[in-house]
Amino acid sequence: MNQYSGLSYIYDYLVAGVDFEGWIDYVEALLNRFQLHTDSVADLACGTGNTVIPFARRGYKATGIDLAGEMLNLARSKAAAKKLSINFLEQDMRTFKLPGKVGLVTCFHDGLNYLLDIMDIKKTFQQVHRQLNDKGAFIFDLNAVHWLSKADNSITMIDDQDMTLIWETSYDSNQSTWQIKLTGFVREGDIYRKFTEYHREKAYHPEEITACLRDAGFTLLGSFNAFTFEPIQYNSIRHFYVAQKSD
């Protein structure tokens, strides 16, 4: 699960163009659509804090959870620089425990796709259920099966003044898993430090996710093409799910 030891210090550079405030605008639109109300949120797989910091800035009591300590250290520094009070916890999403229950749990940027076994999805959903208030909400995204399956053993490179990054991607149709081999050369003073990481994501069909939510005690309120209110489609890139604790 901890595959960001080398990538952590350049992660924000790679996602600099992502409108994370827009992501939380969308989440709040989903909450309003289903008349869900909360002032507390726990963000799973929060990384360097890009999706939990906007919650804190808007007045939510926010907790960020991630398994990668290096990412959390950066998140803490960013929150401190913005004078935001966020509780960051280094925990596994399958077993995470909060100091108190919350009204909303989120997981974004395909964090759940990193769980490579459906049993781990089930464990995570069950744990989310335990950490939510009565009628609490669970909002998350997943990279879609069709999108992940388009990987074609391609190679992508970023060559910048202070770093060179090389991605090699492939898709295993038997296991429904997408793999990226990332090789990086990052400048540190007068030298370049090399690192190699392997990232794997599992593609899950919407029917599997819906069944896991139901079995964990959730009611699925809606599933959408990302950043819309349109129903999910086969050729979508990313799906969002909105579920509510029902028992």
Q: What is the pLDDT of residues 72-112, one digit of tens each?
A: 999 999 999 999 999 999 999 999 999 999 999 999 988 99
Integer Cα distance of 229 and 15 in angstroms: 24
CA separation (Å) from 219 to 17, 30, 109, 210, 242? 34, 15, 22, 9, 9
- pTM value is 0.89
- Runs of H (alpha helix) within the chain: 11-14, 20-33, 53-57, 69-81, 118-131, 145-148, 206-215
Indicate whether 187 pLDDT > 70. yes
Could you tell me if 79 and 49 are in contact, meaning their C-beta atoms sit under 8 angstroms apart?
Answer: yes
The answer to whether residue 226 scores a pLDDT higher than 90 is yes
**With contact defined as beta carbons under 8 Å apart, do 224 and 238 qualify?**
no
Alpha-carbon distances of 230 from 1, 33, 109, 112, 224, rounded to whole Å: 32, 13, 19, 22, 5
Output the pLDDT for position 131. Answer: 98
Say how far apart CA 243 and CA 105 lie, in whole Å.
Answer: 10
Domains belonging to the chain, first-starting first, are 8-143+204-245 (3.40.50.150), 147-201 (2.20.25.110)
Whether the CB-CB separation of 226 and 236 falls below 8 Å is answered with: yes
Task: Report pLDDT for 230.
Answer: 96
Question: Average of pLDDT values for 30-34?
Answer: 98
Query: Which residues make beta-bridge pairs with 65?
Result: 44, 89
